[in-house]
Amino acid sequence: MSHTAFAASASMRAPLASQQLHPIMMRFFNPIPVSAFDMGNSIELEQHYASLNMFDAVPNGRFLVDTELYVPILHVRRQLSPKHIVSLRIPLYRPYNGVLDGFLNNYHRLAGLPNNGREFRPKNQMAYYLKPQWSAENRWEMGNISLEIQSQVYKKNSVAIALLASAKLPTSSKTRGWSSGKADFSLGTVFSWHGDDYFAHSELRAIYTGAKSEGSMQYQHYVRASATLGRDFGKHYSVLVQIQGGSSPYQSQLYVLEQNPWIMNFGLRIQGESALYTLSFSENITQYTTADFSFGFHVRWLMD
């Protein structure tokens, strides 16, 4: 198998590039799961669109996020050696007033589901604040850039293991609630297995928060974990299911910030002539520190 063909095969079986899309989690290092086999050069455009509605009290609480959020990310991966790769992720954030509130209110009513307070907010009106620390605006924002080095320490037949060292740079706005204002650092490991038709990944990361406190809030080191199961359908299609989450970096008097964030993801990946295409959908498992749901569309170009 040629290098490019093997890279395409490993990339088709890589985990979904899903992440926590709640702004309070995006302020810190916000990793995506990776594969210990996927060590090739590539350029990827990741795109996420999420809907969020969380608060601590209605109508005059301290914390509120009510927005739809578009997050495009440029992800560049460069091989340093056959067993080492460095990656750079450059995100942008765009909160919107949104268009889905009316649809979601009607869906919840017809399905007999709770509206979780959406009925108390004006429809399609963006808000994100934590008083008195920050207040966001309806505008484009530079995101927090992240760097990662991946080192493959074991590979034999269908099993590979890699070590991960990462850093988040505080390149987004602290006063508008998109960054903690300090760098974060992470160490982790990923275990990957490739079978004939099925594949799986398991990942664990420990994250050191550079910021320690902000007003009455205290920050703590936290963990992120993920598990991915996928199946190939021929050479050009794969389907994936993935669970990911961990602990919260917050220690505060607001329970809506301290809940552990967990989400479930479902994806379809297609191998085209010149790129890989991934469609994904994410649903929250825990409520307060995750987006209600999100959609993803990613295009990845493999490089020699």
Instruction: State the SS3 of 144-193.
Output: CCEEEEEEEEEEECCEEEEEEEEEECCCCCCCCCCCCCCCEEEEEEEEEE
Domains in the chain: how many in total?
1
Is the peptide bond preceding residue 132 cis, with omega within 30 degrees of 0? Answer: yes
Tokens of 191: 């275990």
pTM of the model: 0.91
Domain hosting 70: range is: 3-303
pLDDT for 1: 45
Are the C-beta atoms of 141 and 179 separated by less than 8 Å? no
Residues of the chain with pLDDT below 70 are 1-8, 58-59, 100-122
Q: What is the pLDDT of residues 51-104, one digit of tens each?
A: 988 888 766 788 889 899 999 999 999 999 999 999 999 999 999 887 766 666
CATH number where 251 lies: 2.40.160.40
